[in-house]
A and B are shown apart, each in its own frame.
Chain A
Amino acid sequence: MKTTPSIMAGIGLKIPAIFFSVALTFLGLLFITFFIGRVVPIDPVLAAVGDRATPEVYERMRIELGLHLPLYQQFWIYLLKVFQGDFGMSVLTANPVLKDIQRVFPATLELATVATAIGVLVGIPFGIIGAVFRGRWPDHILRVVSLFGYSVPVFWLGLVGLLIFYGRLDIAPGPGRIEVFYEGMVDPVTGLLVVDALLAGEWDICKNALAHLVLPASILGYFSTAYISRMTRSFMLDQLEQEYITTARVKGIAEWRVICIHALGNVRIPLITVVALSYASLLEGSVLTETVFAWPGLGMYLTQSLLSADMNAVLGATIVVGGVFIGVNLLSDLLYKIFDPRARM
């Protein structure tokens, strides 16, 4: 009797290989980021001590930061520390980098998750409609809407969104994650304000945090909507031309079943990759959206650190971004295996 290996067993066999490739990816990531950080024409000591420091203070800080050592030695020391779980101190925030990331990453996670949810919930139906009504007016309208979402700068869209929904119509709250006077009233457990407020039973704060999420998440979501709907449309068009669809139709199956069960069922597999990639890119933090909405997330943290040559922070944040990317990719691989029997072989 022939046995088919179970999903988990298949993955179990590959664990050493996965581990090795992840480790290699991280090492490469660290290496490149580290050396880019050392060749940018910004003096990291300057960022730490300011423009007015005396030469003695400057020199001492240079040594404190280890910048007097040869590059390879600096890299080695850094690697050793990272293996011990020490990402060093951020010069900009005077806090350990790990603590900073624990603070800024949930803000981005919250935003990216809601935005992706919007992208999926709106983008996939849009894509299906576009494919079904190919070349007719619903398709044209959706194409224009998507194209707009794809081509207008998010920065501008964010400002206009604020101006209309917050400034004029008064139906959305202003920028920030929460109303300032709620600030610090719930203890961070997960870092996700909405969840923390719920855990603390603070319904008002939860509602407020949720309300603050809606506008920036919708704007980010609009972008993933545009992307996801275009991809869904083309995947669907591919499927709808297949012979099994014609067969299904000939058999007299209701059209909605043909589209939503037969065609969409086959489209979901490539869609996983599309959604995963779009989620991963949002998790890197969207600098512009975060800037407009005064959203203290990973994107803003990374940019500020980079512009100050705060290398510990940049490297720490890069590892997080890399980890997220690899994690989301592994997850989509796993989903592939669940949804697509062929991938289990």
Chain B
Amino acid sequence: MKRCCLLILMSIFLCCNPVTAKTPKHILVMAAQIDDMISLDPAEIFEFSGAEYAANTYDRLIGYDVDNVAEIFGVLAESWTVADDGMTFTFKIRQGVTFASGNPMTAEDVAFSLQRVILLDKSPAFIISQFGFTPENVKEKIKAVDAETLVFTTDKPYAPTFVLYCLTATPASVVDKKLVLSHEQDGDLGYNWLKTNYAGSGSFTLKTWKPAELLMLDANQKYWDGVPAMRRVIMRQVSEAATQQLLLEKGDVDIARDLGADQLDSLKDNPDVKLHPKPKGGIWYLGLNQKNEALSKPKVREALKYLVDYQQMADTLLRGTMIVHQAFLPMGFLGALEDKPYALDVEKAKQLLAEAGYGDGLTLTMATRNTSPTMDMAQAIQATFAKAGVTVEILPMDGKQALTKYRARNHDIYIGKWGPDYQDPHTNASTFAWNRDNSDEAKSKPLAWRNAWDIPEMSEATDAAVTERDPEKRAAMYQAIQREHQQVSPFVIMFQEIEVAAERTDVKGFILGPSFDSNFYYNVTK
């Protein structure tokens, strides 16, 4: 009997050969890490995979060219004007667009979607509310005048591109008012329903979402700008990068999204696979807590900036997944500074440390997320810091634990990544170079606050830059802030992230944008 069962098992193992199942021609299959996705409501989505989902299933008023961010164009807005006061934006809404539900899209839907973000006030709401909208005034300030016209009034004149870029972000996605409200419960504006459902007009529609397991999208057969070639897109949660690589090599997925430098290296010579790199906005940095006495000395901060072997790390450790970048605005942003004044210089660092009174060395801890590449980077930094007598004790911990420690200002050094929330320079300037209240009870906790860096003048400059309406002057203002920041800040800015998608060679047209809400599937063919 037992032998019989064993034989059956063995034969199953041998006979259930899946005959190397290649992905069907009209289905795009991706191996990805989608376990960060906690909501499907665009008013709440604030995670990488969630942003990508919304980008493909919802439309916004405007979009930007992924290769040249300065190029802004209308999507659901056909055109727009900015009044002379710099505060009133009037959008002419595209006609003839229908939602996947079949309901026609009007200015009323756009107004509702933006108002809804403010009224629900979820994590990303500040992207829209920073223009002076509150639950009390938003119905007045964002208004559909008629079916084709939307008027959007800010509280003061901002740089127009600042406003427009924010309207390209995830919370500005337009939802189907009629459908959403039909699922409203207790005045929740359909939030509890939309969290796991879909009400958009984008090129794809939601078929299935199994959290941390699978996301399945179907082509929107009613899409106003042409039905995509892929009938279905499937994103499958594969946490392990080596497993992703194996699936890709076997052709069981078309694209692997989260490969590390090691996997990418070993795929370089594979004729069936091509690598598709795109610089993203993510900035890798060290945050030096100013509550630590040693780190609060300007010369110590400067010394540490000379103790990172930027180029060596990029070449040997990060190989193609990051490039050296030393200012807080990522390349591609208005006013981004590309100067790289720092390189490994142990002698200079030793001298600076001696001048600061730490010639005999010092000991620091580094709160480090226990995953790759953070751990590897921390170890490389630990090695070069040691050359000048700076002993770093790496404290490995879970990502959220490290973040909790960081936000409580309990760290010495924090190593981490910051990604912009939208394509305007203010997104990074307002966190790296703005801190109005350095007290422990402060309401706003930007990165400058988390490192206890008190900067009243620089905050002033940052606030001035966001209201400057002349783009050239504005760019110059950001450059000046970054130059000073580069010299004095407690941030050792090291790298800009590059996202690399590994694709089967037959896959064409997958668009990787500079942000996670600008990765698109509608052009994909294979």
**Contact residue among B31, B398, B421 (Cβ-Cβ distance under 8 Å from A52):** B421
**Do A214 and B16 touch across chains, with their CB atoms under 8 A apart?**
yes
Contacts A121-B2, A304-B212: A57 and B236 contacting too (C-beta < 8 A)? no
Instruction: State whether the Cβ of B124 lies closer than 8 Å to any Cβ in chain A.
Output: yes
Residue B5, interface by CB 8 Å: yes
Given contacts A211-B12, A291-B239, contact A166 B211 (CB under 8 A): no
Contact B242 A52 (CB under 8 A): no
Stretch from B291-299, B402-410, B472-480 at the A interface: B402-410
**Neighbouring B residues of A94 by C-beta, 8 Å:** 38-40, 195-196, 211
Contacts of B407 in A (CB 8 A): 43, 46, 51
For residue B54, give the distance in angstroms from its CB to the closest CB of chain A. 15
* Given A42-B404, A292-B243, A118-B9 contact (CB < 8 Å): yes
Query: Do B9 and A181 have beta carbons less than 8 Å apart?
Result: no
A217 to chain B, nearest CB (A): 9
Interface check B345, CB cutoff 8 A: no
CB of B132 closer than 8 Å to a CB of A:
no
Q: How far apart are the CA atoms of A296 and B250 in the complex, in Å?
A: 21
Query: In the complex, are the beta carbons of A53 and B123 less than 8 A apart?
Result: yes
Could you tell me if B404 and A43 are in contact, using CB atoms closer than 8 angstroms?
yes
Interface string of B337-354 (1 = CB under 8 A from A): 000000000000000000
A13-56 at interface with B (beta carbon < 8 Å) = 40-43, 46-56
Q: Is the CB of A41 within 8 A of B401?
A: yes
Q: Is A92 an interface residue (CB 8 A)?
A: yes
A92 touches B12 (CB 8 A): no
Task: Known A183-B208, A183-B214; judge A292-B240 contact (CB<8 A).
Answer: yes
User: Which residues of A in the span 100-138 have a Cβ within 8 Å of any Cβ on B?
Assistant: 100, 103, 117-118, 121-122, 124-125
B526 within 8 Å of A (CB atoms): no
- Say yes or no: is B29 at the interface (Cβ < 8 Å to chain A): yes
Question: Which residue of the partner chain, among A50, A181, A218, contacts B46 with CB atoms under 8 Å?
Answer: A50
A42 touches B250 (CB 8 A): no
Residues of A within 8 A of B6 (CB): 121-122
Expressed in whole angstroms, the minimum distance between the Cβ of B16 and any Cβ of chain A is 3
Asked if B123 and A207 make an inter-chain contact with CB atoms under 8 angstroms apart, the answer reads no
A window 204-239: CB within 8 A of B: 207-208, 210-211, 214, 218
B154 lies within 8 A of chain A by Cβ: no
Tell me, yes or no, whether A73 is within 8 Å of chain B by CB: no
Among candidates B29, B122, B237, residue contacting A294 with C-beta atoms closer than 8 Å: B237
Are A42 and B398 within 8 A (Cβ)?
Answer: yes
Q: Determine if B247 and A296 form an interchain contact, defined as CB atoms under 8 angstroms apart.
A: no
Is A50 a contact of B17 with CB atoms below 8 Å? no
Are B212 and A301 in contact, with the CB atoms below 8 A?
yes
**Selected contact of A309 from candidates B39, B46, B400, CB within 8 Å:** B400
Residues of B within 8 A of A40 (CB): 401
Interchain CB contact under 8 A, B12 and A300: no
Contact B21 A179 (CB under 8 A): yes
Q: Are B13 and A214 in contact (CB under 8 A)?
A: yes
Decide yes or no whether B234 CB sits under 8 A from chain A: yes
Q: How far is the CB of B468 from chain A (nearest CB, A)?
A: 24
Point out the residue from B2, B210, B401 that lies within 8 Å of A42, measured CB to CB: B401
Q: Report the minimum CB–CB distance from B156 to chain A (whole Å).
A: 19
Q: How far is the CA of A301 from the CA of B421 in the complex (A)?
A: 29
Q: Choose among B121, B123, B213, B240 the residue that contacts A291 (Cβ–Cβ < 8 A).
A: B240
User: How far, in whole Å, are A183 and B217 apart by their CA atoms in the complex?
Assistant: 12
Query: Judging by beta carbons under 8 Å apart, are A171 and B17 in contact?
Result: yes
- Count chain B residues whose beta carbon lies closer than 8 angstroms to a beta carbon of A: 65
B234 x A296 contact (CB < 8 A): no
Q: Cβ of A55 and Cβ of B404 under 8 Å apart?
A: no
Q: Is B207 an interface residue (CB 8 A)?
A: yes
Which of B27, B211, B445 is the most central at the interface, judged by chain A CB atoms within 10 Å of its CB?
Answer: B211
Residue from A56, A175, A183 in contact with B216 in the complex, judged by beta carbons closer than 8 Å: A183
Which chain A residues numbered 138 to 172 have a C-beta less than 8 Å away from chain B?
A: 159, 162-163, 166-167, 170-172
CA distance A118 to B252 in the complex (A): 28
Q: State the CA gap A93–B211 with chains docked (Å).
A: 5
Q: Are B398 and A92 in contact (CB under 8 A)?
A: no
Complex Cα–Cα for A93 and B209 (A): 10
- Among A50, A103, A172, the residue within 8 A (CB) of B13 is A172
Q: Is A254 an interface residue (CB 8 A)?
A: no
Asked if B400 and A55 sit within 8 Å, CB to CB, the answer is no
Residue B82 lies at the interface, judged by CB distance under 8 Å to chain A: no
A190 at the interface (CB under 8 A from B): no
CB distance from B22 to the nearest CB of A (A): 11
Q: Which residues of B contact A117 (CB under 8 A)?
A: 5
Judge whether B126 and A54 touch: CB under 8 Å.
yes
A88 near B: Cβ within 8 Å? no
Q: What's the minimum C-beta distance from B276 to chain A, rounded to whole angstroms? A: 21
Complex CA distance for A32 and B47, rounded to whole angstroms: 32
Task: Please tell me if the beta carbons of B212 and A92 are within 8 angstroms of each other in the complex.
Answer: yes
Q: Is A91 an interface residue (CB 8 A)?
A: yes
Which residues of chain B come closer than 8 Å to A335, judged between CB atoms?
Answer: none
Task: State in angstroms the CA–CA spacing of A210 and B17 once bound together.
Answer: 11
Q: Are A176 and B196 in contact (CB under 8 A)?
A: no
Q: Are A95 and B196 in contact (CB-based, < 8 A)?
A: yes
Selected from B123, B214, B243, B249, the residue in CB contact (under 8 A) with A49 is B123
| Distance A173 CA – B24 CA, assembled complex (angstroms) | 16
A174 and B38: CB pair below 8 A? no
Tell me whether A218 and B39 are in contact (CB under 8 A).
Answer: no
Tell me if A318 counts as interface (CB < 8 A to partner B).
no
Chain B residue at minimal CB-CB distance from A103: B210
State A54–B207 Cα separation when bound (angstroms).
32
What residues on B are CB-neighbors of A183 within 8 Å? 208, 214, 216, 234
B236–A294 CB distance below 8 A: yes
Contacts A94-B211, A167-B246 known; A55 to B398 CB distance under 8 Å? no
CB of A173 within 8 A of CB of B21, answer yes
Residue B444 CB within 8 A of the other chain? yes
Q: Which residues of B contact A163 (CB under 8 A)?
A: 246
How far does the alpha carbon of A294 sit from the alpha carbon of B31 in the complex, in Å?
Answer: 10
Q: Please, what's the 1-or-0 string for B97-136, where 1 marks a CB less than 8 Å from any CB in chain A? A: 0000000000000000000000001111110000000000
Contact of A91 among B24, B38, B213 (CB under 8 A): B38
* Chain B hits for A52, CB < 8 A: 46, 123-124, 126, 421
Q: Does A180 contact B (CB under 8 A)?
A: yes
- B→A interface (CB under 8 Å): 2, 5-6, 9, 12-14, 16-18, 20-21, 23-24, 27, 29, 31, 35, 38-40, 46-47, 121-126, 195-196, 207-208, 210-214, 216, 234, 236-240, 242-243, 246-247, 249-250, 252, 397-401, 403-405, 407, 421, 443-445
What are 22 of the A-B contact pairs (CB < 8 Å)?
Answer: A41-B397, A41-B404, A49-B123, A52-B124, A52-B126, A53-B122, A54-B444, A57-B123, A60-B121, A91-B38, A92-B211, A93-B211, A94-B38, A167-B249, A171-B14, A173-B21, A174-B250, A175-B243, A181-B234, A183-B208, A211-B17, A304-B35
State the 4 A-B residue pairs at the shortest beta-carbon distance, nearest first. Answer: A211-B16, A93-B211, A53-B123, A173-B18
Kindly list 13 other residue pairs between chains A and B, CB separation below 8 angstroms, not including A52-B46, A56-B121. A41-B401, A51-B407, A57-B121, A93-B38, A121-B5, A162-B243, A171-B14, A175-B243, A180-B29, A208-B16, A208-B18, A291-B239, A294-B236
